[in-house]
Amino acid sequence: MQLNKTTIIKEFRNFLDSISLITDNYLNVASFSFKIPEIKIVTLLSSNIIKNEDNFYWKIQDEDLEFLAFSPILNINENGDTRLESTSARINDIESNFVSNWKNCGLQNIPLIVGGIKFAPAQKSERWDDFSDSDWFVPKILILKKGDEVYIVYNFIVDINLNINIKNFENILNLVDLLSSTSNELESKKELLPYRYSNSFDQWQLIINKGLKKISEGMLSKVVLSREVCLDLSNENSISTLINELSEKYPRCYIFVFQRAGSLFIGASPEKLAKVSDGWIEVDALAGSAPRGKSDIEDVEMEYFLLNSEKNLFEQRAVVNFIHNLLNKISDEIIFDDKPMIRKLPNIQHLWTIMKAKLNSEINVIDLLPKLHPTPAICGDPWKIAKDFILENEVHDRGLYSGNIGWFNFEGSGEFAVAIRSGLIKSNKLFAYAGCGIVEGSEPIAEYEESEIKLKPILSLFVDEKVYQP
């Protein structure tokens, strides 16, 4: 497929003519999409064009969805306890003046605003300073692959000077040519390092026992505690190679990269926080864990153990009940199976319930986040007491880890992952994170071993150790 620039520019001029009447307001965001030839999106993450820009990459291989958003035209950054309310107010201002040609291209459920929120606001670590508590942006360019087709979505602030708009658009077309020429084979540069932990088992055991004491006193029924592991990186790694490896190892997970300034937040999350489309919301209740077996027989034994483990079933039921209570407030129809399924990943398996609900009124997707976050799966129950315990006792700030990350638009569509199985790359260091749900009967050594399994998706990209895949 050849890019017919003359035709595309003509279509863009017609689009500008059709929106010329909306320029009375101070902020008018427009979005113009068009089809382009095949391009290897993941390889662009390591290109000089992209890596010096704030960017956001997202891939769900099993759903044939992949996109790269970069070069913000609008940043929506809010901090503090009212971060999501402030974000929603700013989103509403933009939405009232938004226009696109998406339907003309046969496109729907298109990402427009990308980013995420931290686990908790007002954390003090300088490690996460490049990200706001609620951190979103509208990209100038979004390269979108749906199935076998690739599109450019060009977002811009409407300017009444048509010549400026046309010139800017011509520059975008030239950039597409440049990106296509740099979309070649994946780089192979990747260093492998030995493990180096930033916290010990003794430290872990101490905080676990504090949590178990709160549980025995009846203050908590569950608290999710996390570990941070630090690696020194001696050289710059190819982010394209790292992300491609995550995609190959974890094809059923959300693969993501969120870059702000000199910080890269990457991950392979197995857990959907919410997917919204066509008036329906879908939420994962994922909790309870067991390792994969080293043989088919052992793997089935692990599955049987998980499905019959009182501790793990209690942990997963708490998440189901929490989500069900929330969905009751926004839906009259909730669909899910009482018995959990097993979600098998290459190195771990979880109890899993898919919950779907029909939204009973129109609601901005961003307004759902404070209703769903944080769930007992990444915080605990009761969540307020569990959250306070985490913030008081964990020696590290979680930042975006166990927050949520994803995208949404003004057509009632969006998708968010719980930002677990993730890590931060900053100043030639990797900070990787993993958490475990602590309930009555939890044992520090077993939880420590579980956290080791959960750390592998990120650590295996850098350490000289294979992740077992049956």
Distances (CA, A) of 427 to 268, 332, 358: 22, 49, 45
Could you tell me how many residues make up the chain? 470
3-state secondary structure of 99: strand
- CB-CB contact of 392 with 223 (8 Å): no
3-state secondary structure of 166: helix
The token pair at 406 is: 């994803």
Catalytic residues: 222, 271
- CB-CB contact of 224 with 375 (8 Å): no
Q: Which of 32, 65, 36 is nearest to 153 (CA)?
A: 32
Distances (CA, A) of 142 to 71, 80, 184, 338, 452: 9, 29, 19, 40, 36
Q: Which of 462, 427, 455, 428 is nearest to 199 (CA)?
A: 455
In angstroms, the CA 152 to CA 98 distance is 18
Cα Rg, the chain, nearest whole Å: 23
Quick one: which H or E segment has residue 349? Answer: strand 348-359
Residue-wise DSSP of 240-291: HHHHHHHHHH-TTSEEEEEEETTEEEEEEE--EEEEEETTEEEEEEEEEEEE
In angstroms, the CA 38 to CA 174 distance is 16
